[in-house]
Structure 1
Amino acid sequence: MLKIGDNFSSKKLFHYYEIGVENQVASINIGETLRKARIDKKISLDELQQRTKIQKRYLLAIEENDFQELPSDYYLRTFIRQYADEVKLDGNHLIDVLDGKDRPLPNYPELETVDELRKNKHAENPTRARFRATLPMIILGLVALAIISVVGYMTWLDHQETAIIPENSSVQVERSDVSSSAAEKVSTSQPKPTTESSKKPEKPKMAFAMENNTTNAATMKIEHAEKPLKITFTGKERVWVGVQINGALTYQYTLQPGESQTTELPADAAQAIITVGMAKYAEVKVNDQALDFQPGDSLLQKNVTLNIAYAS
């Protein structure tokens, strides 16, 4: 399957087109289905172009199943979903048709396990079965006997003990009382440290602030960030994500539904740009704290600029 950044050779395009045709034959004609739905809704290609912001030539290519005309696999899937949403079709089902996931799987008879085969061949020995049934009772009896023995031994020791302090040790006790009182006087004469001075100042927690936000872009400030700064992406659906540092793409990945991936920013990075292919299909965390970049229900790409201020 083609990915963002792949070079389109004629061999790749032909293979990619063959896969698309095979999947269409397996279920429905994707382009024809979308075109009929558009006509039923009385929507022209020009009007559809204004609604979806997709160029007309790409809309025509999708209707004609000419998928090699699309820039990449990512844009093909995104455009099919947007087209389907506008004509009230299930875009995820069309993507499944594109991937060939709608074909029925072959049914195979269930095989008996080894244990079941052994049980069928050999019946369990009656004596062994009775022993297994009584084994828990035997174990409980042994545990109870051990507890009774320990309690009895401890009781016997209590009766055998003598006085810990002999009668002729009264002088030593009095001296110990005097020394303890003197120690108390010395300790009370010394100033006690205050509770406030003994406590260490708490570090301020990392905080996010939204500075600017639109459908396609947002600018957020991160204060008191702890190094290293880790970005964790979790996909709600299949979605592409990326990270740019100083204008260079340092990380990119296509998440599957429920999958999470983490990348670490350079220690001196004061700014980073996070890109989500379809905003509502991804969740983002920074150092395990949720980043509310306000994706809403947008299926469009969103770039989130993070201005980072690290904790001193």
Structure 2
Amino acid sequence: MTVGETLKQARTERGLTLDDLQNNTKIQKRYLIAIEENNFKSLPGDFYVRAFIRQYAQTVGAPVEDIMGMLDEQLGQEKPVVAEESTEEEPKSRSVLREKISAQTPPSILDKVMSHLPAIIIVAVVVLILGAIYVTTLNSRKAQDTTTDSDVAVSREVESSSTKTSSKKQSSQKDTNSESETANSEAKKSSTKKAKANSKQTITATSSSGTSFNYELKSSAKENVIKLSAADGTSWLAVSANGSTTWQGTLADGKEQEVTLPEGTTAIRINVGNSQATKLEINGKKFDFLKENSSATVRTINLTVVE
């Protein structure tokens, strides 16, 4: 069975109609029909194919991972098979090497070495222990001599440094006060500049075609921050900067995601799978994208950044 047939069978077994499924998932009925007919080209894009099918399977109680695996096979996306290297030759090569070594070494010499091996190991261990004790004792004596000399030198320096400490404390307090005042004034200036930049930000609708809407973003920050959130439903979203996908995923009801775009981004694209359940903020300001055709559930938002 295909992905569409499997999902349709699961829906009918649960006694759900396409209208019921549309109300539960917020996916338009024509997209649900296309999924059941395996007509994935009728969906807005590859991102929505996987997002919609995953939501369909969760709603009708079908095994999600099995359905996604069937989808990959149906679309021809096979998982790479990692070939395991055979290690059968390794034991053979080791045994051959042992036979060669045994053949080259006379049995009598090898037996003598093996018989004295435990004694040799014990002697080596004892020598290492004695050496470690000697080195530790020598270092301890050197440390005691160094400590005695340093204590005498420190006692002489304490008297001269104590007179300097009070004057240094007074000067350091003055420096600290002046530095804190400077930092506070710089922080106030920085926050004032950010507030002015955000107040000047404007988003203007320029054109639209079907479910694609174009805007112009003026006086934006150097690094634009897109905040995505879902309310009263699940939202499927994807954010791209200059043609490269920065983040994509599904947000459950009450969840949010913040995406910081690279500096110098001039083109921003936001794909929205459930407009009524999605809220957007750009650089801390609410973006009311539903003003343009609020009935469009699936939409693509294109923002051109203008200095």
TM-score (norm 2): 0.45
Higher helix share: 2
- TM-score normalised over the length of structure 1: 0.45
